Chains A and B, each alone.
Chain A
Amino acid sequence: MAIPFEFGYEKPATIADALHLLDKWGRNARILAGGTDLANELKQGFRVPELLVDIKGLDALEKIKVLDDALHIGALVTFDMVRNSQLVRDHAYILYEAAGLVASSGVRNRATVVGNICSAVACMDSAAPLLVHDAVVHTASLEGEREVPVQDWFVDNRKTLVGEKEMVSHVSIPLPKIKHAGAYQKMMRYTGEDLAAANVGVLLMEDGACRVAFGSVGPIPRRSPEIELFFEKNGVNARHIDQAKDMIGGIISPITDVRATKEYRMHMTKVMFVRAMHAAVERLKKQKI
């Protein structure tokens, strides 16, 4: 299907050039990363930009690196690069695990993690891993740089705190200082293509702290302070995991759509939560560092 309207295209060679374009064009410009969401949105007329700013010439944004006790994921890092990164496996295993469940290899080769959280479709796979890792979103504009905790980043389905003249340069994941283990669970109709009908991410720390995030079961993915507090008070064991499971009904608010009914989503979120918790407990036992 042809795209029924015209727009311009620029591929800046430096971040400064990109920021100037965004400054000039504001809401009429749209950043193009892997295009896996944007191409569809333009075909459907969901967005009608006047200019695409292709950031794929900005090599500096293509890196995964450890800097200042944090793992940095640049705006051009694809899910495929995450799957092939030992750094991500070592420091944010659950992001690696989730990346393997995104779409198919043909999409993962283009789709970026940052594009995923900029599109902010409720079912995105990178949100729960970033949430439980207390990740920070780094933005840049001519006015300067901002750091936004990923917990505050999502405002509504497809809506984030990104400013009109801003771009995201990278996300950073603080390296946990103690032994930890996470697990990610995604419910889908079939592997290879499907968006999550619901997803759960958990991160367990050696000192007993536990972080839990739910995706696709409300307009925005969210952490659950209720369950985290429950584990903090009572500790993590099989009985408490079961009790925490029963709290989920009061925490998430799934809807019915083409992928699943709200009852099924609710049921499966509980099942996946229990699976993820047990997997994380087992993984923590095996962790060396």
Chain B
Amino acid sequence: MATPILMENPLRQGLFADRVPAPCSLVIYGASGDLTHRKLVPALFDLYEKHLLPASFSLIGISRSKISDEEFKQGLKVALKESEPQLSDSLWNSFSQNFHYMAGGYDDFKTYQALSQMLDQVDQENGTSGNRIFYLSTPPNVFENIISNLGAAGLAKEEKGFARIVIEKPFGHDLESAQELNQKVKEVFKERQIYRIDHYLGKETVQNLLVMRFANSIFEPIWDRRYVDHIQITASEDMGVGSRAGYYESSGILRDMFQNHLFQVMSLVAMEPPVAFEANAIRDEKLKILKSIRPFNENTVYQWAVRGQYGPGYLSGEKVPGYREAEGVNPKSNTPTYAALKIFLDTWRWHGVPFLLRSGKRLPKRTTEVAIQFKQPPNLLFKTNVSDLSPNVMVIRIQPDEGITLKFETKVPGMSMEVRTVNMDFRYGTSFAEGTSEAYERLLLDCMLGDATLFIRGDEVEAAWAALMPVLNHWETTEPERHFPNYEAGTWGPAEADNLLEKPWRKWRRL
């Protein structure tokens, strides 16, 4: 797709970096924070080095901390040096020449008026053409304040150029607050101006799910209830809650991982082919999947949802404390750090096929993957016991070591008819010289280009919350079935998760 900038500037044509955004200013709220330092600015630097940052670009950081332009830049430089130890002064100075900082309260209207003036001045001096992106990288309790003030200051209007708003996760705390936030943001911005981030969608392998499914003709015919026994989606972390205990206590694993990342990955795995590779066509199909999730009720919430919390244990041979012992956590906390859900999608394609989703903290390792487990062959020609047979499995590894593995049966060489399972393995890291880009790099670039394909639409967020609310409500109003902590740090979660499997041949994958 030729971007406007390519059409205006013929010299851009044919350069490998041909997705070049138009000049713009990026305003980051909460710029003194961790995300800006560790993710956003390093991602911008990578875009800069790849000639993908527009020539006229400026960054304005806003937060309450009273620091000067120079202190702000110095802080960013120190953080960038962590990932770019070779960074020279001339390179840094050139990259950051149009970086500015403004101290101010998120509820102080004067800050927004001053910002408006500053943006006009930057447009004149740097040629940023009135294009603006507002990135909300603060804790969510100030999102609404910032949004309404941006509206009041006229900054959401698209008079000279575009105005876009990027909203970090979490988008809402439950269905009601997500609806409220959607309403607030839509009072000020139109849906096409809104970019709700789920950084999982920026990951290369997640995007490859679409390519794998819809650029090949061999998978789609077997991608349904006739051939698929069940699908497992796992996102495990070996880390504990660390310094995020405060946030975690009020959110828990369902809000932190399921409502956004796991549900998004599930939608991409399960959706129907979109009519075009275009933001709304793809999001329409994802929405249908989220809406087709069979609602949890008083009975199924027991049968299809398992919660857990880690106690003390060992990771890599080292003793680690339990969740309740972390600083900032209530010693009687019932916040789940593990969940496993069995989800049924009431669609023609997936009728009766369980989607088994699990995620947890302090599991043995950090892995995210999708495993499609196919049905057994109908006729047991080579084995007599069903349990001797290994089903075909296709695994799409999202992180680390991105790639795809297909597991199938072969004959062991020799006179007897011995059958053994082998893996056919494709790894991104070994087949392509190009390293995969950081998710934020891709998402920032797409937002500058106005491509919302990898961002979540308002109705998707609400559908995801709606599906999850019965489980959340139930868990928040009842005691766990078995007292927490119910799994040891460094293990694969509570044993109850096995109850979701239902059939003897189904097992949680050992990763």
Pairing of A with B = no
